[in-house]
Amino acid sequence: MPTATLTTSHNFLAGPYIDRRSESREEADWRAAAVSDPGTLFLLARGTAHPIGGEHPSVTFVRADDPAVRSAALESWVLLGWYREARCVLVQLGEDVPPPPGARFEELRPLAALLDGEQAGLLAYARALTYWQRRHRHCGVCGAPCEPQRAGHVMRCTDPTCATESFPRIDPAVIVLVSDGERALLGRQASWPAGRYSTVAGFVEPGESLEDTIAREVLEETGVVIHDTCYHSSQPWPFPSSLMLGFTASAAPDARPRPSEELEDVRWFSRAAIAAGEILLPPPTSISHRLIAHWFDAHGSEPLAAITARSGPWYARGGGPR
């Protein structure tokens, strides 16, 4: 695989939106420090939903004296880090706890593109930790209950003879823009909005390198043999717990794609076809859109962003990393 130059800007849901200060997780009195600090922001979670307020959606934070914070079990707290220079603590609530006044509990996925990028990143981080904790309530080795440690970033078995520690898990997945130079290889799933086409993606299997996964997924889903894979960028995608690893790859101009179980249709598309709006592209918040734009802009007459800004709804419906 050729050496790649990493991209200089961040994908949506990524970037320096929080200072994690992981050393603070080791402090035994971190909860007391959070309560005593009047600037601490508490982020409530009911399941994987968070309080959102305002006509233009925005996260509703609360302070230490909020009734929901005071009534929550201390073990439900998670120290996220410092958000916009303020300590930020996630507090997980029961399903019957009402939202703060003027707010409603909402899930991130349908809301993400409407939020400020830093707020969306923070909720993605919180959602990933909440999802992981809820699925590691019991030890995978002995079955005993687990309890959170290190400010909620470790789940430890309560059986002292076992004491196995579990750390947050993510599922690596590759997503790749395949090109023959003049055309991009894009496919569509039957469940997507009408006209939507996107890049090829799939999960990394045990014993595979990223390069192995790319070659296998493209061949399985499209029947095309690829070469010269090159890393582009990555995007956290906590739905439920993925990390999308973006690549570009080359294929021979005479490669003939075919549909598969995964994709009901797969074709080569020229820049002219994409510029003309012949297909519905993934939303701009997705890494797949960024991969397509990277290829398009390399030889397009004008940037894809300028074309989509003029064209509006034809590319923007729906949401997802693909």
Q: CATH classification of 171-316 is 1.10.357.10, yes or no?
A: no
pLDDT on residue 315: 43
Reported CATH class of domain 18-134: alpha beta
pLDDT on residue 3: 41
All CATH 3.90.79.10 domain ranges of the chain, comma separated, are 171-316
pLDDT on residue 192: 95
Q: Tokens at residue 58, please?
A: 């925005």
pLDDT on residue 9: 75
Measured CA to CA, the distance from residue 213 to residue 205 in angstroms comes to 7
- Percent helix, strand and coil across the chain, each to the nearest 5: 25, 30, 45
* Per-residue model confidence as pLDDT tens for the chain (322 residues): 444 444 557 899 999 999 999 999 999 999 999 999 999 999 999 999 999 998 899 999 999 999 999 999 999 999 999 999 999 999 999 999 999 999 999 999 999 889 999 999 999 999 999 999 999 999 999 999 999 999 999 999 999 999 999 999 999 999 999 999 999 999 999 999 999 999 999 999 999 999 999 999 999 999 999 999 999 999 999 999 999 999 999 999 999 999 999 999 999 999 999 999 999 999 989 999 999 999 999 998 899 999 888 765 444 444 455 5
pLDDT on residue 312: 59
pTM more than 0.85: yes
Measured CA to CA, the distance from residue 81 to residue 153 in angstroms comes to 11
Name the nearest CA neighbour of 183 among 47, 37, 314, 298.
Answer: 298
